[in-house]
Amino acid sequence: MNFESELKKGNFIISECTNCQKIVWPPSEFCNQCFSEVSWRNASNHGKVVEFSKQNNDYFCIVEIENAVKIMGSVSNGIPNVGQRVKIDNCGMKGENYYFEISLI
Amino acid sequence: MPKVGIASYGITKFSKEDSKIESVLLKSTKKLFDNSHNLSRGDIDAVLVSTNNNSKYLSAILSEMSGIEPKIAHSIESLCNSGTNAIVSAYSYIASGLADVVLISGAERYDSPGQILEWDNSRGEFKHPIFWASIFTKAYKREFLVTDEDLALVPVKNHKHAQNNPNAISEKTYSLDDVINSKKLTDDLRLLDCSRPCTGGASILLASEDTCKKYTDSPIWITGIGQKTTSAGFTKNTTFSSMESTHLAALTAFQMSKHNVKDIDVAEVHDAFSVCEPMALESLGFTDKGKGMDMIQELYTTNDLKINPRGGLIGSGHPLGATGIAQTIEIAQQLQSCANKRQVDNANIGLVHNMSAASTSSTVLVLER
């Protein structure tokens, strides 16, 4: 399963080690702890805000998912707070870059 | 370990000039030769080029253009701390005996591809450095109750220092109001909080102890080296209000030099953005966590040039591959008491702090007379 081809379809998947069960992020073919092969599964679409800032009228933030994956995305509603629960509504690729659209819950 | 020293150096003015990378490399190399009377081309065993430029084979090209036929010639890239990585590589070649004299030349163009780390997709659409800097600033301000107005003192101080640095890109001083009223890039970052990408070159010559004395009466010794890479991806940082890699690199460098932070008389620290200066001072151990701005305020009020006498990255400009070398040249000049209007009194031991990619990698050097 190719991470980017799934992301292009709007599916956010993560790699998990078949041996030590570690979530490997950024996505990789091999575990960065034991070099075993990984398997792929859908990531939780829930996370929490680690930090945030704002450009023009748009907030952006670092979100942590499953205590293992941190990504930066844009916030579609309201003012985020550190520790706040959020949901990933949309993800995909714009050109070479990944994008994540996040809403506060 | 055998001693390795700085035997000579040369630097260009940092600018927005549209020069070819080869020309920038050659200019600071020529200045180095102009500054070193006993240096023969045949003495140079290795030529190392530090840059993020995409051009190929630059070390061989610089060697040919300079009439050098080195044994070892290659480029070194590590984003913004390429320069000190090249110095550490040169040190290792000399300490191991593989080379006796090494020329290191760093250069960058204003449009360097090293400003963006494409690989780091965990940053999503937010790959420009202003976004990690905004996150650092937000985290630092919240954790230590620091304001934008407090942080604005960093560019005020460093542009002021840069006015005494003939090679700096900055040509004027700024007030706190100027910084606060400069273009707002994000809620947490203004234009004057940022160092500027620019075109510039800096070259340095390292040599073994005995050979060093052939080229200079006042060699500067590299007595401490610490490096640490904690990750490549920005979001892997475990904290956004301090620099873990810097802290760990400093411990190693101090241990090797048998000195501690209290012994440091002068330092160049990697102020890529305003918030980086207090964070670096805290992570290097100059002051307690959250107290970096108090230290900077004290230095500014007493006109003490101890931190970033040449103006740091904010005042001097930031030609990535040349920055770590330019920082090292500044500290060498300080220790040689030849820094003119930038001179810090009684500078015997100095420190260089050079980092890359949101502090995921850091180099700390300790230099001595």
| Alpha carbon of A24: minimum distance to chain B alpha carbons (Å) | 12
- Average pLDDT of span B305-332: 98
* B209 and B67, same domain (yes or no): yes
* B210 and B227, same domain (yes or no): no
C-alpha closest to that of A16 among A56, A79, A66, A59: A66
Count of C-beta atoms within a 10 Å radius of residue B319: 32
B127 contacts on A by Cβ (under 8 Å): 97
Cβ separation of B125 and A70 shorter than 8 Å? no
* A69 and A28, same domain (yes or no): no
The DSSP output letter for A38 is E
* B265 and B242, same domain (yes or no): yes
CA–CA gap between residue A86 and residue A93 (Å, rounded): 20
* B206 and B248, same domain (yes or no): no
How high is the pLDDT of residue B29? 98
| Alpha carbon of A73: minimum distance to chain B alpha carbons (Å) | 6
As a whole number of Å, the CA-based R_g of chain B is 19
How high is the pLDDT of residue B2? 87
- Average pLDDT of span B20-40: 96
Structure tokens at A30: 């091999």
Count of C-beta atoms within a 10 Å radius of residue A58: 11
Q: Which domain holds residue B360?
A: 220-368
Tell me if B187 is assigned to some domain: no
What is the average pLDDT score of chain B? Answer: 97
| Alpha carbon of B237: minimum distance to chain A alpha carbons (Å) | 10
* B241 and B331, same domain (yes or no): yes
Residue with structure tokens 């253009």? B65
Q: Are B346 and B234 in contact (CB under 8 A)?
A: no
pLDDT above 80 (res A1) = no
Tell me if B119 is assigned to some domain: no
The residue out of B215, B242, B265 marking a domain boundary is: B215
* B281 and B301, same domain (yes or no): yes
Nearest CB to B138 within list A25, A52, A99: A52
Strand B4-11 to B220-229 pairing: antiparallel
* A27 and A53, same domain (yes or no): no
Q: Are B353 and B77 in contact (CB under 8 A)?
A: no
* B201 and B247, same domain (yes or no): no
Single-letter residue type at A58: D
C-alpha closest to that of B364 among B242, B204, B206, B247: B247
* A74 and A94, same domain (yes or no): yes
The residue out of B156, B188, B215 marking a domain boundary is: B215
CA–CA gap between residue B353 and residue B330 (Å, rounded): 12
B347: left (phi over 0), alpha (psi -120 to 50) or beta: beta
- Average pLDDT of span B257-268: 98
pLDDT above 80 (res A91) = yes
* Tens-digit pLDDT profile for residues B38-95: 999 999 999 999 999 999 999 999 999 999 999 999 999 999 999 999 999 999 999 9
Q: In chain B, how many domains are there?
A: 2
| C-alpha separations of B71 from A89, B48, B242 in Å | 57, 11, 41
Cβ separation of B124 and A96 shorter than 8 Å? no
**Domain of residue B328, CATH code:** 3.40.47.10
* A16 and A53, same domain (yes or no): no
How high is the pLDDT of residue B1? 80
B137 contacts on A by Cβ (under 8 Å): 53
C-alpha closest to that of B344 among B164, B100, B200: B164
Tell me if B151 is assigned to some domain: no
Tell me if B120 is assigned to some domain: no
How high is the pLDDT of residue B352? 98
* A100 and A54, same domain (yes or no): yes
* A60 and A73, same domain (yes or no): yes
* B210 and B296, same domain (yes or no): no
In SS3 terms, chain B reads as CCCEEEEEEEECCCECCCCCHHHHHHHHHHHHHHHCCCCCHHHCCEEEEECCCCCCCHHHHHHHHHCCCCCEEEEECECECHHHHHHHHHHHHHHHCCCCEEEEEEEECCCCHHHCCCCCHHHCCCCCHHHHHHHHHHHHHHHHCCCHHHHCHHHHHHHHHHCCCCCCCCCCCCCHHHHHHCCEEECCEEHHHECCECEEEEEEEEEEHHHHHHHCCCCEEEEEEEEEECCCCHHHCCCCCCCHHHHHHHHHHHHHHCCCHHHCCEEECCCCECCHHHHHHHHHCCCCCCCHHHHHHHHHHCCCCCECCCCHHHHHCECHHHHHHHHHHHHHHHHCCCCHHHCCCCCCEEEEEEEECCCCEEEEEEEEC
Maximum CA extent, chain B: 57
What is the ipTM metric for this complex? Answer: 0.96
How high is the pLDDT of residue B201? 98
* A78 and A99, same domain (yes or no): yes
Q: In chain A, how many domains are there?
A: 2
* A32 and A67, same domain (yes or no): no
* B337 and B230, same domain (yes or no): yes
* B251 and B315, same domain (yes or no): yes
Tell me if B141 is assigned to some domain: no
Give me the DSSP letters along A4-28: HHHHHTT--EEEEETTT--EESS--
Cβ separation of A82 and B142 shorter than 8 Å? yes
Q: List residues bridging with B354 in a β-sheet.
A: B363
pLDDT interval class at B37 (50, 70, 90)? confident
CA–CA gap between residue B171 and residue B105 (Å, rounded): 25
How high is the pLDDT of residue B125? 95
Q: Which domain holds residue A91?
A: 46-104
pLDDT interval class at B154 (50, 70, 90)? very high
The residue out of B166, B186, B215 marking a domain boundary is: B215
| Alpha carbon of B127: minimum distance to chain A alpha carbons (Å) | 9
- Average pLDDT of span A94-103: 95
* B309 and B204, same domain (yes or no): no
* A90 and A51, same domain (yes or no): yes
| B18-B22-B25-B26 Cα dihedral, nearest 10 degrees | -110
* A35 and A69, same domain (yes or no): no
* A34 and A84, same domain (yes or no): no
Nearest CB to A60 within list B131, B139, B189: B131
* B249 and B210, same domain (yes or no): no
CA–CA gap between residue B209 and residue B207 (Å, rounded): 7
Q: What is residue A92's three-state secondary structure?
A: strand
Nearest CB to A94 within list B120, B125, B134: B125
